[in-house]
Amino acid sequence: MTIVKRLSPASFLLPILLAVCCPVSSTAADGKDSRPPPEPRAYRSATACASCHPEIYKSWKSSRHATSFTDPVFQLPYDRIRRSHPRKAVICEQCHNPGRFLLPPNAPLAAIFAQEGVTCDFCHSIESVRLEGPFPRYHASPGVMRGPRGGEPGKRVHATTFSGLHVTSELCGGCHEFRNEFGILVLGTYSEWAGSFYRGEGIHCQFCHLPQIFDAKFMASKQKKGPLDHAMSEGRKRERLAKAIPMRAVLRVSENEAKLTVTLKNETVGHKTPSGIPTSRLRLVSTLYDAEGKVLGRKEEVFEQVVGDGAGKPLEKPELIFTAAREVLKDNRLGPKETRRIEQAFPLGGAKAAKAEVALLYEEPLTDISLRMREIDLPVSSVVVPAKAGNSALRAALIAIVAILLLLAAVVYVRRKGR
């Protein structure tokens, strides 16, 4: 009774509700069914997809897309801006709660979609995207699932259609790129990618962030590939980060100085690292020890983007980063495929340096410090390098000897070939 009463003022919502509660009843999946598949012309909750796409549902559920609206890390700044500048708060929802712009605000599904953040039916209903200009940037229409394959006759339980957009970075670019009203590029992941080697090679976001799940079941049946992993967790995995940003170090010690040279490379991150919201950063920490393990010195270098309020003051609160940034104060992040050499000099003052330890950390500082609910420092990798004598005359002599030997070898080779 209460349900009917609540619905009566807006009875047009009934089909939507039905679609949520009673997802697509399955038609024959035996390959002989030639009837057109049912086409529910309404958006559906992610829970309606779970029964048939369980692995994808599970991985999406663990993603930050699924919690993009409900996560307190978002809710706190969102709440602050809603109270101070309600008009500006609307922009946050464009990306963190995209359902709000597809559904009437009082539709029951609107509340469910908000709980689900960047949800399945939003992404798979997208028809087109505008990368710049005013919001909303996405044009979507429900019912037909757009994806990388297109119709698979006989298996269709909902209509599907091939969408070229879904295999390109443009699909992601509508949300992973944002320039604020003062012209500051707050999120530049899409354009960083678009200006990189990866675009030329046709390596889109999906290639790295939506990898195939290698399920034993699929391996056994000769069909190598399982469904796609929707967790988008590339940035959370330590082993992958260590491979993505390899690090080398050399320590040279002379009479009164130790010189540490660290080489970092952005090997396989398809954009700057770190990218996205300017709160994450990479921290390089070097510590110099003597033979007894006593610390002789410590140095740090932080790779990050910092935006300011226009008067030189750095902004840290996410809502201000998005709405009030007027200048970029610092940006020393590593571009795609960039190699960076960092030289650090430690004065020794009589002490004897024996080794250095270099650690790379991936940090996502909590935007609201009171909430200790997220891992802050993710140690990416660390190396220990022994000291080498930094005698430059000796080194030059060695290099000369090696060069002469190589030259001799080349001469011998050319002569032999000539015969």
Segment 53-72, which members bind ligand HEC (CB under 6 A)?
A: 53, 56-57, 60, 64-65, 68, 71
Minimum distance of ligand HEC from residue 50's CB (angstroms): 7
User: Of the ranges 105-113, 216-224, 296-304, 318-326, which one interacts with ligand HEC (CB under 6 A)?
Assistant: 318-326
Nearer to ligand HEC, 321 or 356 (CB): 321
User: Of the ranges 45-53, 99-107, 287-295, 376-384, which one interacts with ligand HEC (CB under 6 A)?
Assistant: 45-53
* 252 binds ligand HEC, rule: CB under 6 A: no
Nearer to ligand HEC, 352 or 374 (CB): 374
Backbone φ/ψ region at 222: left (φ over 0), alpha (ψ -120 to 50), beta = left
Nearest residue to ligand HEC, scored by beta-carbon proximity:
276
Minimum distance of ligand HEC from residue 219's CB (angstroms): 15
* 149 binds ligand HEC, rule: CB under 6 A: yes
Nearer to ligand HEC, 70 or 382 (CB): 70
Minimum distance of ligand HEC from residue 121's CB (angstroms): 4
Residues 6+ apart with CB under 8 A from 347: 256, 257, 297
List the Cα angle 48/49/55 in 5-degree steps.
140
Nearest 5°: phi and psi at 382?
A: -150, 145
Minimum distance of ligand HEC from residue 355's CB (angstroms): 28
What are the CA-CA distances from residue 413 to residues 43, 174, 401, 408 (Å)? 71, 57, 19, 9
What are the CA-CA distances from residue 88 to residues 104, 117, 134, 216 (Å)? 20, 19, 13, 48
Residues 6+ apart with CB under 8 A from 145: 124, 125, 158, 159, 160, 161
Nearest 5°: phi and psi at 239?
A: -65, -40
User: Of the ranges 272-280, 348-356, 380-388, 397-405, which one interacts with ligand HEC (CB under 6 A)?
Assistant: 272-280
Of 171, 264, 315, 325, the one binding ligand HEC by CB under 6 A: 171
Nearer to ligand HEC, 78 or 289 (CB): 78
Of 114, 140, 318, 360, the one binding ligand HEC by CB under 6 A: 318
* 113 binds ligand HEC, rule: CB under 6 A: no
* 315 binds ligand HEC, rule: CB under 6 A: no
Of 253, 275, 315, 348, the one binding ligand HEC by CB under 6 A: 275
Under DSSP, is residue 243 helix (H, G, I), strand (E, B) or coil?
A: helix
Enumerate residues 114-143 that contact ligand HEC by CB under 6 A. 118-121, 123-124
* 144 binds ligand HEC, rule: CB under 6 A: no
* 110 binds ligand HEC, rule: CB under 6 A: no
Size of the site for ligand HEC (CB under 6 A): 92
* 227 binds ligand HEC, rule: CB under 6 A: yes
Rounded Cα–Cα distance for residues 259 and 342 (Å): 10
The token pair that represents 213 in the structure block: 């799940």
* Torsion of Cα atoms, 193 then 180 then 97 then 110, to 10°: -140
Of 16, 113, 234, 247, the one binding ligand HEC by CB under 6 A: 234
Nearest to 48 by CA among 117, 141, 121: 121
Nearer to ligand HEC, 217 or 415 (CB): 217
* 23 binds ligand HEC, rule: CB under 6 A: yes
Nearer to ligand HEC, 117 or 297 (CB): 117
CA dihedral sign of residues 194, 197, 201, 203: negative
Specify the amino acid at residue 321. Answer: I
Minimum distance of ligand HEC from residue 406's CB (angstroms): 35
Inter-axis angle of helices 14-21 and 108-116, nearest 10: 40
* 379 binds ligand HEC, rule: CB under 6 A: no
Reported residue count of the chain is 419
Nearest to 246 by CA among 333, 375, 337: 337
Sequential DSSP letters for 137-202: -EEE-SSSEEESS---TTT-SS-EEE-GGGGSTHHHHTTS-EE-TTS-EEE-HHHHHHTSHHHHTT
Nearest to 64 by CA among 298, 277, 331: 277
Contact mark string toward ligand HEC, 335..364, x via CB under 6 A? -----------------------------x
Contact mark string toward ligand HEC, 279..308, x via CB under 6 A? -x----------------------------
Rounded Cα–Cα distance for residues 120 and 46 (Å): 6
Of 113, 178, 289, 303, the one binding ligand HEC by CB under 6 A: 178
Minimum distance of ligand HEC from residue 282's CB (angstroms): 8
